[in-house]
Amino acid sequence: FEDYAGTEKISYPSNKLSTEEAPLGIDPTVGDFTYYAPWGNLAIYYKDFGYSKGLIKLGKIESGVEKLQDINSDFTVTIEQVD
């Protein structure tokens, strides 16, 4: 992941995700884990942002998202589904 616009951390997965049955867009808030279909990137928002067409919410980071603001270099994360 790398910083983008002082608002989110983004990363490009090796494969694009399906957008079938996805909403047209969302208004992301702090902690939202999203997929931006037009560019094919994942994003974790650490600041609020306005409505974005093509943005799909995948989940919500429940704790620690405030620490993303302090990371000034690229970093790697592991994302796992929680039952």
How many structural domains is the chain composed of?
1
| Residue 81 within any structural domain of the chain | no
| DSSP code, position 48 | -
| Residue 54 within any structural domain of the chain | yes
Residue 77's pLDDT is 83
| Residue 41 within any structural domain of the chain | yes
| Residue 24 within any structural domain of the chain | yes
Residue 44's pLDDT is 96
Report mean pLDDT in 10-residue bins for the chain, 83 residues.
Answer: 95 93 96 97 96 96 88 86 75
Residue 24's pLDDT is 96
Residue 81's pLDDT is 74
Residue 83's pLDDT is 77
Retrieve residue 26's tokens.
């969302």
The whole-model pTM stands at 0.89
Dihedral sign for Cα atoms in the order 28, 24, 9, 79: positive
Residue 20's pLDDT is 94
Residue 2's pLDDT is 95
| Residue 19 within any structural domain of the chain | yes
Rounded-to-integer distance, Cα 11 and Cα 23, Å: 21
| DSSP code, position 73 | S
